[in-house]
Amino acid sequence: MEDRIIDFLRGNPGNIVLTSHFNPDGDAIGSTLGFAHYLQGQGFNVNVIFPNEPSIPLRNSLGYSSSFVHIDQHERNKTKTIISQANTLFALDYNVSSRVGKEMSALIDNFSGTRILIDHHESPDHSFDYMYSLTSKSSTSEMIFDIIEKDGGAVDIACADNLLMGLITDTGSFKFPITSSRTHEVAGKLLNFGAQPSIIHERLYDNNSKSRILIWGLALSNILITEDNSVAILSLSNSDLNEVNCQPGDTEGLVNQGLGIKGVKMSVLIREDSVGSLKMSFRSKGDVNVNDYSRQYWQGGGHKNAAGGVSELTILEAIDKVKSTSKEIIIDD
Nearest Cα neighbor of 2 from 153, 179, 145 is 145
* Site track 190-229 with Mn ion (rule: CB under 5 A), x = hit: ----------------------------------------
Does position 142 interact with Mn ion (CB under 5 A)? The reply is: no
d(CA 118, CA 31): 9
Residues 6+ positions from 80 with CB-CB distance below 8 Å: 107
Does position 170 interact with Mn ion (CB under 5 A)? The reply is: yes
Of 61-69, 73-81, 139-147, 155-163, which segment contacts Mn ion by CB under 5 A? 139-147
Does position 161 interact with Mn ion (CB under 5 A)? The reply is: no
Element (H or E) spanning 82, and its range? helix 76-84
Residue 219 near residue 236, CB atoms below 8 Å: yes
Closest CB 120 distance from Mn ion, rounded Å: 6
Does position 252 interact with Mn ion (CB under 5 A)? The reply is: no
Question: 268 forms bridges with which residues in the sheet?
Answer: 233, 282
Of the residues 17, 19, 21, 27, which one makes contact with Mn ion according to CB under 5 A = 27
Closest CB 300 distance from Mn ion, rounded Å: 15
Residue 84 near residue 17, CB atoms below 8 Å: no
Q: Which amino acid is at 214?
A: L
Q: Which amino acid is at 147?
A: I
Task: Judge residue 263's burial from the number of C-beta atoms within 10 Å of its C-beta, 0-12 exposed, 13-18 middle, 19 or more buried.
Answer: exposed
Closest CB 167 distance from Mn ion, rounded Å: 10
Of 35-43, 86-94, 259-267, 300-308, which segment contacts Mn ion by CB under 5 A? 86-94
Closest CB 59 distance from Mn ion, rounded Å: 18
d(CA 288, CA 331): 7
Of the residues 72, 93, 142, 272, which one makes contact with Mn ion according to CB under 5 A = 93
Instruction: Please say which residue, 83 or 143, places its beta carbon nearer to Mn ion.
Output: 143
Instruction: Please say which residue, 26 or 113, places its beta carbon nearer to Mn ion.
Output: 26
Instruction: State which residue has the least CB distance to Mn ion.
Output: 27
**C-alpha distance from residue 151 to each of 10, 44, 106 (Å):** 11, 14, 32
Closest CB 190 distance from Mn ion, rounded Å: 16
Residues that bind Mn ion (CB under 5 A): 27, 93, 139-140, 170
